Amino acid sequence: MKYIAILGSTGSIGTQTLEVVRAQQDIKVTALSAGDNIDLLEQQIREFRPALAAVKTEEKAKELALRISDLNIPVLSGMDGLMAVACEKKAEVLVTAIVGMLGIRPTIAAIEAGKDIALANKETLVTAGHIIMPLAKKCGVRILPVDSEHSAIFQSLNGEKEHGNKIDKILLTASGGPFRGMSREELSQVRLEDALKHPNWVMGRKITIDSATLVNKGLEVMEAKWLFDVELDQIQVVVHPQSVIHSMVQYEDGAIIAQLGTPDMKLPIQYALYYPERRYLPGDRLDFWKLKEITFEKPDTDTFLGLPLAFQAARTGGSMPTVFNAANERAVSKFLHRKIRFLDIYDIISDAME
């Protein structure tokens, strides 16, 4: 039996992690946290019977505790709740599926408690990679990537570093999002509903907007730098609209190893939870007889400023990646609440960085 805790169990990654748990039946969920969605969290608690749960506010915690009073499961709140979930004593792996910098402190606490990290919270490495990676090494724990792109790189590296084979560059693929090919003039007219229609992936609202601005790919560049110990100049973003190749690694002899599959987040989630074992995963498979084309493009960094701003933040270093990330979190929140327009996101990030 494998024991896991989940930060962000009601979000896209959290719910898909629980789908993997249901399918495999040899994983025990020991702790769950969520934001405000206590209706879904209550269902999850009743199904998986964790040792404890946590929510965002004390008010919601009291309401949920009253609802599940028959189960004798404590409900905590705030950062104390997240820290308790992260350090739940039986858990061997912490799945970090919450959005934003909120994940930093619980991730550090979990590493210090000896938990492996199934990392879906890219902002943790973007803003605190200089803390997280050395700490994981010191504590002897593994950082196992859950993002599809970083999982693909991780899989493409499997066994190569142990033999001393050197990375020439990482080819980080991007779908291009729902607005690929549009001009800035066209982007000035897009609506929230348009930005939330990702062509290939089903994701949470924040990451879907980040995909549309290419900020998400910029965050992934910074995450890859820390995860795989490479220089920024060794990371090349390639737009691949079909989302079949999830990312690639080019070695110094010119060979390129890629990981392919359908756009299904359960594959990287399951791979992280059972690494290095591969298990049967139900779902669609790539059919190369039906696959008509695999195409690639250079990203349009003149129109989609999320990527060049991210590279600028990463090259500047220091606190600038944190400024980039924090400004984006605030801007996306405003856009999701219809307080700003799509292109204003770039202005807010750029102004904050200046």
Per-residue pLDDT of the chain (354 residues; tens, 9 = 90+): 999 999 999 999 999 999 999 999 999 999 999 999 999 999 999 999 999 999 999 999 999 999 999 999 999 999 999 999 999 999 999 999 998 889 999 999 999 999 999 999 989 999 999 999 999 999 999 999 999 999 999 999 998 888 888 999 999 999 999 999 999 999 999 999 999 988 776 778 898 999 999 999 999 999 999 999 999 999 999 999 999 999 999 999 999 999 999 989 999 999 999 999 999 999 999 999 999 899 999 999 999 999 999 999 999 999 999 999 999 999 999 999 999 999 999 999 999 999
State the Cα–Cα distance between residues 16 and 22, nearest whole angstrom. 10
Whether the CB-CB separation of 106 and 119 falls below 8 Å is answered with no
> What's the pLDDT at 109?
97
List, in sequence order, every beta strand (DSSP E) within 252-339.
256-260
Task: Find how far residue 302's CA is from the centre of its chain.
Answer: 26
The beta-carbon contacts of 76-82 under 8 Å, at least 24 apart in sequence, are 76/52, 78/54, 79/105, 79/106, 81/33, 81/53, 81/54, 81/55, 82/7, 82/33, 82/54, 82/106
> What's the pLDDT at 164?
86
Whether the CB-CB separation of 79 and 101 falls below 8 Å is answered with no
> Quick one: tokens of 122?
């890219």
> What's the pLDDT at 244?
95
> What's the pLDDT at 34?
97
Instruction: List b or e across 28-67, with b for residues whose CB sees 16 or more CB atoms inside 10 angstroms.
Output: bbbbbbbbebbeebbebbeebebbbbbbbeeebbeebbeb
Do strands 245-251 and 256-260 pair parallel, antiparallel, or not at all (unpaired)? Answer: antiparallel
> What's the pLDDT at 163?
85
> What's the pLDDT at 289?
93
Instruction: Give me the residue label for tokens 């509903």.
Output: 193
Name the pTM for this structure: 0.93
Specify the 3-state DSSP secondary structure of 222. helix
> What's the pLDDT at 148?
93
> What's the pLDDT at 29?
98
Whether the CB-CB separation of 97 and 121 falls below 8 Å is answered with yes
